[in-house]
Amino acid sequence: MPEPVRVLLTGRHGQLGQALVASVPAGIELIATGRGELDLADAAACRSAVEQHRPDWVLNAGAYTAVDRAESEPALAEAVNAGAPGAFAAALASSGGRLLQVSTDFVFDGEQGHPYAPEQALAPLGAYGATKAEGERRAAAALPAERLCLLRTSWVYGPVGANFCLTMLRLHRAKAAAGEALGVVADQVGCPTATAGLAAACWRVIERGVSGRHHWSDCGAASWYDFAVAIGAQAAARGLIDAPARVKPITTADYPTPARRPSYSLLETSTTRHALELEGQHWQAALAEVLAQIPLPTA
Ligand SMILES: NC(=O)c1ccc[n+]([C@@H]2O[C@H](COP(=O)([O-])OP(=O)(O)OC[C@H]3O[C@@H](n4cnc5c(N)ncnc54)[C@H](OP(=O)(O)O)[C@@H]3O)[C@@H](O)[C@H]2O)c1
């Protein structure tokens, strides 16, 4: 029997981390860590974890993901989002292992108006995107290219964790009950990405030994407004909510946030789909599968 591939996972309790733990393929020996086992803000601890476990891969799914809070905590965001991948990459360079670093559409400024290709130059707008971009840079500086996979994704959500879909379910219920409209930003366009498909893409990277810069999202495009409307309609059809609230399109200027966000951050995913031999699915089909995993409310 071939030796199992040893994978050191970070962020096991995050949305992606939970989907990864739930879908470990045969032939993988998983060492799953959360904040309790490995503090990603501690670069020495990240290096020691590689030296101790000698993984074939580090799958770095943990991150500082609070986009707005990162504006007031840039040092912590940088330690986690840039320090950890840099430390993993440096240790893996010595140990011979590989790194799968999960990154974000927020490394782009959203100005170009057509999908971003994996090799394009980065131009983040806010602290979160800047720290993730710096994490990519440090990983690429420390590891030979054939032992690094940078996998960017967008608008991640799933049946558990803190995400837009679960927030919208709560707001649809509350606003419909109050007879109020739900205002959602309609001038930011991207693509929702369900955790199950993203986890499958991560495992495929490891199984195939894929390297380089890659993009993974579900298929199609949406504004946050479109996504909110679809969540309401599908959730009502499934019985998760009695009825959707009326969703009102608003502008980014109507909903000011500490961090600036890209107005158009679709990712060009075709080369990655080809490399991984994964077709993916339209985001509305993926949404139906996510909603099907959320328990119906008890009477
Ligand atoms: N969410 C999105 O919309 C989105 C979009 C594009 C890319 N991404 C990227 O996708 C990846 C997965 O994101 P996600 O949505 O699964 O994020 P998430 O649900 O926020 O999970 C991130 C995990 O990282 C952990 N973490 C944060 N700081 C840590 C530290 N100092 N030490 C150890 N663990 C720490 C968190 O632990 P606690 O649970 O203890 O806080 C959490 O479990 C990240 O690389 C993210 O940048 C996400």
Ligand 1 contact, 65 CB (< 6 A): yes
Question: Residue 299: its pLDDT value, please?
Answer: 64
User: Residues 15-46: pLDDT tens digits?
Assistant: 999 999 999 999 999 999 999 999 999 999 99
Q: Is 225 a catalytic residue?
A: no
Q: How far apart are CA 86 and CA 92, in angstroms?
A: 10
Per-residue pLDDT tens for 191-245? 999 999 999 999 999 999 999 999 999 999 999 999 999 999 999 999 999 999 9
Tens digits of per-residue pLDDT, 275-295? 999 999 999 999 999 999 999
Measured distance CA(55)–CA(4) in Å, rounded: 11
Mean pLDDT for the stretch of residues 57-65: 98
C-alpha neighbours within 13 Å on the C-beta side of residue 253: 0
Mutate to test the pocket of ligand 1, among 10, 18, 35 (most ligand atoms within 8 A of CB): 35
Average pLDDT, the chain: 96
pLDDT score of 297: 85
Q: Is the pLDDT of residue 273 over 80?
A: yes
Of residues 158, 44, 66, 143, the one with CA closest to residue 100: 143
Rounded average pLDDT over 126-139: 98
CATH number for region 5-154+194-217+267-281: 3.40.50.720
Asked if residue 63 has pLDDT above 70, the reply is: yes
User: What is the rounded CA–CA span in Å between residue 46 and residue 138?
Assistant: 14
> Within 13 Å and on the Cβ side, how many CA atoms surround 251?
2
Over residues 164-169, mean pLDDT? 97
The pLDDT value recorded for residue 2 is: 77
Q: CB of 39 closer than 6 A to ligand 1?
A: yes
Per-residue buried b or exposed e for 248-274, using 16+ beta carbons within 10 Å of the residue's own CB: ebbeeeeeeeebbbbbbbbbebeebbe
Distance CA 109, CA 130 (A): 11
